[in-house]
């Protein structure tokens, strides 16, 4: 059953990941993001389910450092699905889809009315 609360936006950004207490970082590839979570390609995966991790990346246009915390909610052979510790964390705002679900619904309704 699907539980996502937001539109996924494909992306391709390098991210640094670590668990609390770790001295170093693990490199992954952020492949998509929504207002509630993301998928990060990383193999082999050093993080168990329910691990709280920190992630860092840079905004491509400005090279601004972006940070957030997340919970590992899914593991697969290709990587991990994470849920952010808050909906639409302000620290990752530049990476979110620019169109909200409400705006998409309005656009679809307007398009069907015009047809």
Q: Give the containing element (helix H, strand E) for 98.
A: none
Number of other residues whose CB lies within 10 A of the CB of residue 72? 20
User: Residue 4: its pLDDT value, please?
Assistant: 52
pLDDT averaged per 10 residues, the chain (length 115): 65 92 90 91 91 90 87 93 82 61 48 56
Annotate 19-56 with three-state secondary structure. Answer: ECCCCCCEEEEEEEECCCEEEEECCCCCCCCCCEEEEE
**Residue from 100, 94, 99, 101 nearest 11 by CA:** 94
How confident is the model at residue 9, as a pLDDT?
Answer: 84
3-class SS of residue 104: helix
CATH class of 9-114: mainly beta
Between CA 87 and CA 80 the distance in angstroms is 18
Structure tokens at 113: 């009315």
Q: What is the pLDDT of residue 89?
A: 72
pLDDT at 22: 84
Q: Where are the domains positioned within the chain?
A: 9-114
Predicted pLDDT at 7: 76
Q: What is the pTM of this model?
A: 0.74
Instruction: Please name every residue paired with 26 in a beta bridge, in sequence order, or none if there are none.
Output: 17
């Amino acid at each position: 059953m699907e539980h996502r609360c937001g539109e996924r936006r494909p992306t391709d950004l390098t991210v640094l990941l670590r668990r609390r207490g770790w001295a170093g970082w693990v490199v992954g590839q952020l492949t998509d993001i929504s207002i509630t979570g993301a998928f990060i390609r990383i193999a082999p995966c050093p993080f168990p389910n329910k691990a709280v991790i920190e992630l860092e990346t840079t905004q491509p246009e400005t090279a601004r450092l972006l940070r957030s915390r997340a919970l590992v909610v899914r593991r697969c052979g290709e990587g991990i699905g994470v849920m952010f510790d808050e909906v639409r964390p302000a620290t990752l705002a530049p990476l979110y889809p620019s169109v909200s679900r409400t705006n998409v619904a309005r656009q679809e309704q307007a398009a069907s009315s015009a047809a």
